[in-house]
A and B are shown apart, each in its own frame.
Chain A
Amino acid sequence: MIRRALAWLDDRSGLVSWLKHALTHPVPPRTGWWYTFGSATFLAFVLQVVTGIALATAYVPSSGQAYDSLRFISEQALMGRFLRGLHYFGASAMVVMIGAHVARTYIMGAYKFPRELNWLSGALLLLLTMALAFTGQLLRWDQTAVWSVIIGAAQAGRMPVVGPQVARFLLAGDTVGGATLSRFFAFHVFFIPALVFALVGLHLMLVLRHGISERPVPGQPVDKATYRAAYQEMLRREGVPFWPDAAWRDVVFGAAMVAIVALLALVIGPPELGKPPDPSILEAYPRPDWYFLWYFALLALTPTSWEDAVIVFAPLVFGIVLLLIPIFNTGERSVRRRPWAALVVLFIVVTIGIFWAAGERAKWSPDFSAAPLSASAVHNDNPTVVEGARLFHDKGCEFCHAIGEQGGQRGPDLTEVGTRMNAVGIAGKITNGGPGMPAFARTLSPREVEALTAFLVTRQ
């Protein structure tokens, strides 16, 4: 019965034979776990589409009402909180998996002849994934989201000539308002996913056309003249059917990924909604989601004179290099003969890791929550010193300088400043400032400088 139905379906559509062909096409043996990141990325994307559609049935993409609809989804709708968590951690999984997939294909030289277009379509998918991540963060239409549109627009505005136009295009106007969110919603939900679907289709078609790249062997460089014949010969000799010989690993790895995403969604839950998206609430601390935190850190640590280069040209150069990589499309594939490939990946991973860790701590951000120093922290009864300790908080010093366990970390820790500077040095520093510190000559009276200095000298 089922067999007959399938036979009918295949006769009329050809789908069954095509699927059978796709599933059983021979793949190189011993591909191993390194080859599972691509299918995991795809699975994460499917997860995003499914959970995204579910969320879209309740989300109101209006800048006036999105926040309330998100509250409803998170607090009242059945499993809404879990769904939001799935969508959030699914996005994280997609970013991580596509990163691993790109690194793997680069290290194994899988982008080389004849698979240049596999790489190009994949590179575009990487950029689109980042675009999805950025636009998605904005749909969480709370205070942070609103400020990240403004910051995104300010960054776009740094572009020469077209900057202000690009910024207005993003904001859909001069300010964040009624049209901004609708625009990001349309991009996040319709436009970019449509492009992703098309490119994933192309990407998979190319994988079937050229076959999964075999494990690179040192000393066996790709030669355009002989590669294809050798690959087919290898498949004939020792190829195994994709299903189930290789596919089982994809299934196991993908299931593990979904399990982790679901677990995180259950245990940690979606990111909390912050304050309402009211641009007139100035008590804001805009920070990007984790996958862009390293970039936020990079901008914080870049010297001012380099900033335009980092904001405008670094992404441009990154994009161009990414697209140009398949130009080096023959020769050695094995990483043992391409040590620089491993070094490049290692460099990128370590750099992003360092900036990411720096972004987590965000030492450059003033700590507005620093409380006035307690009497025990001041541990001195001299009225001038006590006065100085009070000024240390009131004049904002403590937002950037720590004393003991309190205060910000933007400036040097002043817990023991009295051991390394004398009164004259401290007073000079306060009045004249420095590259990261304002000169307080205009805002402090000589008496206040004296009190602050008296307080700081006792810190040892």
Chain B
Amino acid sequence: MTPSRRRFLSRVSIALSAAVAAVVGVPVVGFLLSPLTRKVPRQWRAVGQAELFKVGQTVSVTFDDASPLPWSGVTARTAAWLRREDTETFTAFAVNCTHLGCPVRWLADAGLFLCPCHGGVYNGDGSVAAGPPPKPLPRYPVRVRQGRVEILTSPLPIA
């Protein structure tokens, strides 16, 4: 083989190999990264009749993710702390501590949220009362439609 023919064939081989790698690699990487681009529709989920909630009380409510996959099982479920401020307004707090995401518990008698992991404490309005949390408890949009309380599904509150 002449050197030029040899150089030509090696270039063709390298180019073809790169093309094959790209044909396989692009979909694989794209598939792995797809959660970054996927836009999950946010949905209003009913969590109960408004009259069932007492003014001034904070209770946990359970509802489904925005678009749970059919095989999610119970992991599709999520929760929020719902507080009825007065006859008209409700507040929904994320259950995730802003420190590292552990589920905070509502101590009704003390009027405080308390995190089991590192002892973060929040007041009834979600503001930080003590401990490591850097930010107040995030809130979810909440509204009343046809007598039912609805919460807007949201991503996990991260950063």
Contacts and interface: CB of A to CB of B under 8 A. Distances in A.
A65 B130 contact: no
A171 B156 contact: yes
A453 interface: no
Interface stretch (A102-110, A224-232, A418-426, A435-443): A435-443
A55 to B, nearest CB: 20
Interface in A411-459: 433-439, 442-443
A438 B40 contact: no
A169 B30 CA distance: 12
A196 interface: no
B109 interface: yes
Interface stretch (A117-125, A172-180, A235-243): A172-180
Given A178-B70, A300-B118, A368 B105 contact: yes
Interface in B133-154: 134, 154
A19 B53 CA distance: 75
B82 interface: no
Given A158-B159, A410-B119, A443-B112, A64 B132 contact: no
The winner among A154, A181, A277, A285 for most chain B CB atoms within 10 A is A154
B8 interface: no
B36 A168 contact: yes
Interface stretch (A80-88, A347-355, A391-399): A391-399
B105 A304 contact: no
Interface stretch (B14-22, B72-80, B83-91): B72-80
Contact of B100 (A155, A280, A443): A155
Interface in B25-43: 32-33, 35-36, 38, 40
A396 B114 contact: yes
B126 interface: no
A364 B35 CA distance: 35
A269 interface: no
Contact of A176 (B75, B79, B129): B75
Contact of B118 (A167, A177, A278, A364): A364
B130 A436 contact: yes
Contacts of A282: 60, 79, 95, 103-105
Contacts of B72: 63-64, 177-178
Interface in A166-225: 167-169, 171-181
A151 B73 contact: no
Contacts of A179: 35, 69
B96 interface: yes
Given A63-B71, A64-B71, A164-B159, A280 B65 contact: no
B116 A177 contact: no
Main secondary structure of the interface of B (DSSP, over half): loop
Given A304-B134, A400-B119, A436-B130, A154 B96 contact: yes
A331 interface: no
Contact of A157 (B38, B132, B158): B158
A153 B101 CA distance: 8
Given A157-B159, A177-B68, A400-B119, A437 B130 contact: yes
B116 A366 contact: yes
Nearest to B130: A438
Given A173-B38, A179-B35, A286-B117, A394 B110 contact: yes
Contacts of A365: 116-119
A307 B99 CA distance: 9
A395 B109 contact: yes
Contacts of A300: 117-119, 132
Nearest to B33: A169
Interface of A: 62-65, 67, 146-147, 150-151, 153-158, 163-165, 167-169, 171-181, 276-286, 296, 299-300, 304, 307, 364-366, 368, 394-396, 399-400, 410, 433-439, 442-443
Given A64-B72, A165-B36, 7 more contacts: A64-B71, A64-B73, A282-B104, A286-B102, A299-B118, A410-B119, A443-B124
20 contacts: A62-B73, A64-B71, A151-B100, A151-B101, A151-B102, A164-B158, A175-B155, A177-B68, A177-B69, A179-B69, A277-B75, A279-B75, A284-B103, A296-B117, A299-B100, A300-B119, A364-B118, A396-B110, A396-B112, A438-B130
